[in-house]
Amino acid sequence: MAILKTLAETYDVYADLEGSYKNGQAVLLPISHSTFNAQIEVRIDVDGNFIDAKKVEKGKDAITIIPVTEDSAARSSGIAPHPLCDKLCYIAGDYTSYTGDDKEGYFNAYIEQLQKWAESEDSHPMVRAVYQYLMKGTLIYDLVKSQVLVLDSDGKLTDQTKIQGLGQTGANVRFIISGSLVPHEVWQNQELYKKYETYYQHKTAEKKLCYVSGKVEACSDKHPSKIRNSADKAKLISGNDESGFTYRGRFTAKEQAVSIGYDTSQKAHNALRWLIQKQGYIRDESAIVCFMVNRDMQVPDMMKDSINAYQGIDNFDFDFDDFDTYEDSDRERRDTGKIFAEQFNTAVNGYAGEIRVDDRVAVIALDAATTGRLSVVYYDEMGGKQYMDAVLNWQQHCKWRRTVKVGTEEEGKRRITCECTPSPRDMALAAYGVQRSEWLEADGKLLRATVKRLLPCITREECEIPRNLVKAAAVKASMPQTMSDYVWYNDVLCVVCAMIRFQYEQGGKTMDNFLNDNVGDRNVLFGRLLAVYDYMEQRAMFEYDENGKVKERRTTNAKRYWNAYSSRPARTLKTIKENLVAYERKLNDYQLMKFEQWAGEIMAHLDESKFNNKPLTEMYLPAYYQQMEYMKKAFQKKEQ
C-alpha cells in the first residue's frame, strides 16, 4: 500500500496542474476522469442545435479527457455508459435504425444517466446543450449529412469504411459547444471537470476503511486501467476472478483482501499515469518512472546515459548547444571531451546542491503480468540526497569514453564523444544483443528482466552489477566479427569496460592508472599484447585515397582470432604473431621499433608461469582499450 500512498501524495503536490494542457505535455487527469481517442468531433450550439462535424486526425490531438463512472472506466462488456462523450452505440438515438443492431438499451442507459447530471445542481450549460441535442436522436443522420459517416448501398452504417483504422460503428465522439462559453471544447473545460467531480462524489458507495489512507471513506473495488498508455487494459489492482482463486482460500470476499478509497485510488492511478507519460521510460512493454514525491522538482532520468539524463530538467544550468561554439575552435588545442566533461560536471554538482534534506524520491517499475494485470517489479523510496548520492556514484564510476547522441528528435540529434555512463538498456544489449541491422537487438522480455536487475545498482551505492551480466557482456565483446566495427567498439566494448570499471572502483581503486597498477596481472598483460598486435596490423594496412582518407581495410588477425585468444591466449598469440610477419615489412623503422618495444616491455612481466592457455577474465578488455589509446596518442604526438 506504500506505493499507492506515495502516488496519492504526489497527486496532491501537483493538484494545481489538474486537467491543464501545457506545452503539449501529458495532462494530469482530474478525479473521476479518463481518456479515449476520439474519431469524430461534433459541434453544436448552446441550445443543442447541430452545426457541423468532422473526423479527428489520428495523433495527440485525438486524446480526449472524458468524465467516467466506476463501471464505465472498467467496462469490458455489458452496458456501462460514460457520462458525456462515448461511442456511437451509446449516444446515437438512431443507431439501431442505421445499423440493424439493437442497441436501444445502450442509448437509454446513457441518456438517463446524462439527464440526471443535466438536471442536477452540479450541472453545466455544456452538459445541458449535449443532452438537448442527443435527445433528438438524429446524431448519425447529421453525421451522414455532413459526410463524416458513409452508408452502404442499403442505407446502413457498416465497418467497411474506417476512421483512424477503426470501423465506423465503433467511433468515439466528442463535442464542441459554440457560443459564449470559453473554452468551447468540453474536454478542456476546467469548470466542467470540477462540476462532474462534485456531482459524482454524491453518488459514491458505502464508506469503509481505506487500507491506503487509513481513513473511513467511500471505497471502490473497480480501479482504473490505461496506466502505461491510452490503450493499456492492464490493471494494478483487480479481483474479479471469483473462480480462479485470485483471493479464495484466504478470504470469502474480495473486499476482505483489500479496500481502497475511491478518491485515493483515482489520485494514485492518475498520478502514476501522468508521471509515466511525462517523464517515464516506456520501452520493451515495461514502464519505469523516477520522481520527486514531495515537491515539483525534476530528477535525472536514470534510464538514460549520464549525458542525456539531465536534458529537459528546467533548473539544470547547462546548455548543450554551447558545446558547438567551442568544439571547432578548441579541437586542436584541447580534448573537447574533457572540456564538455568539466562544464557538465559543474552543472551536475550545481543541480545536486538544490536537493533538500526533506526531499523524497520514488522509483517504480511496472511490467505486464498478464494481458489484464500489471505487476510492480521494482519499488524503492528514499531521501532526495540519498538518491542523488547514489546516482552520482553510479555516474562517476560506471563510465567510459564513447560516442552518444544528444538533443531532441524535434531539434535534431548530434553525436558527441565524451566519458559517460551507458544506460541500463545499453548494458542489457551489450550482454545479450545481436546485430541484425544497423544496431543491436534483443528479446524484449530478456531486456526487461536485465534492466530490472540493474535498477538497485543505480539507487543503492553498495549494490554491484550482477557478475553473470558482466561476464555475458565480456563474452559478447570477445566476438568482434559478429558485429560492425562501430557497434562492437562503441556499443559493446566501451559499455562492458564501463561495467568493469564500476566493479573495479567499488573497492576504492581507480581506473586512471589501471595499466601501471596491474603491471603483473596476467589478464591485463595478455589484453595489452592483443592491442599491440592488433594496432600493428592496423598501421600496416593503412592505405589512403587521393583525398587523404583511409580506405576500407580488412579485418585484422587479432579480431579474427579474438574469441580463441580469450579462451587460449598463449597458443593463439603464437598464431597471430606468425600471421603478422608479412605486415611488419610495411611498417617504417620507427613504427616497427615502437611496437617491438611495447611488446618487449609487456612480455618482460609475463613470465613462464603466467604464459599459458588458461582462459582470460573480463579484465583483459579495459587493458586492451587503454593500451590501444596509449599507442594511438604516442603516434599522434610523433606525427604532430
Handedness of CA 10, 12, 14, 18 (dihedral sign): positive
Distance CA 164, CA 318 (A): 41
pLDDT at 554: 78
Q: Decide if 236 contacts 374 (C-beta within 8 A).
A: yes
pLDDT at 623: 97
Distance CA 637, CA 23 (A): 51
pLDDT at 639: 73
Determine how β-strand 260-261 pairs with β-strand 216-220. Answer: antiparallel
pLDDT at 64: 92
What is the per-residue DSSP string for 333-394? Answer: TS-HHHHHHHHHHHHHHHHHTT--TT-EEEEEEEEEEETTEEEEEEEEEEEHHHHHHHHHHH
Distance CA 342, CA 60 (A): 39
Find the mean pLDDT for residues 145-163: 91
DSSP 60: G
Specify burial of residue 481 (Cβ count, 10 A radius: 0-12, 13-18, 19+): exposed
| pLDDT at 483 exceeding the cut of 70 | yes
* b (16+ CB within 10 A) / e for 131-147: bbbbeeeebbbbbbebe
| pLDDT at 515 exceeding the cut of 60 | yes
| pLDDT at 124 exceeding the cut of 60 | yes
Percent of the chain beyond pLDDT 90?
A: 58
| pLDDT at 413 exceeding the cut of 80 | no
pLDDT at 244: 56
Run of H or E residues at 524: helix 522-541
pLDDT at 370: 74
Query: Which residues lie closer than 8 Å to 218 by C-beta, 6 or more apart?
Result: 201, 204, 205, 206, 207, 261, 262, 263
pLDDT at 328: 47
| pLDDT at 30 exceeding the cut of 50 | yes
Find the mean pLDDT for residues 70-84: 88
pLDDT in tens, 390-399: 999 999 999 9
Strands (E), 408-565: 414-420, 434-435, 440-441
pLDDT band per the 50, 70, 90 thresholds, residue 547: low
CA 215 to chain centre: 35
pLDDT at 235: 86
Give the phi and the psi of residue 389 in degrees, each rounded to 5. Answer: -60, -40
Higher pLDDT, 240 or 365: 365
Q: In a 3-state reduction of DSSP, which class is residue 265?
A: helix
Distance CA 86, CA 596 (A): 79
Strands (E), 407-453: 414-420, 434-435, 440-441
Run of H or E residues at 88: helix 88-91
Residue from 302, 485, 277 nearest 398 by CA: 302
pTM of the full structure? 0.86
Alpha carbons within 13 angstroms on the beta-carbon side of residue 512 total: 5
Residue from 504, 550, 543 nearest 524 by CA: 504
pLDDT at 329: 44
Higher pLDDT, 627 or 242: 627
pLDDT in tens, 615-632: 999 999 999 999 999 999
Tell me how far apart the terminal alpha carbons of the chain are, to the nearest angstrom: 65
| pLDDT at 406 exceeding the cut of 90 | no
pLDDT at 498: 97
| pLDDT at 266 exceeding the cut of 60 | yes
Give the phi and the psi of residue 380 in degrees, each rounded to 5. Answer: -145, 140
Higher pLDDT, 258 or 610: 610
Question: How do the domains of the chain map onto residue ranges?
Answer: 31-193, 283-505, 514-639
Q: In a 3-state reduction of DSSP, which class is residue 422?
A: coil
Out of 237-246, 440-449, 506-515, the most confident range is 440-449
pLDDT in tens, 313-363: 877 877 766 655 444 444 444 466 677 778 888 888 888 888 998 999 999
> Over the chain, what is the mean pLDDT?
88
Around Cβ 182, how many Cβ atoms within 10 Å? 8
Distance CA 465, CA 309 (A): 20
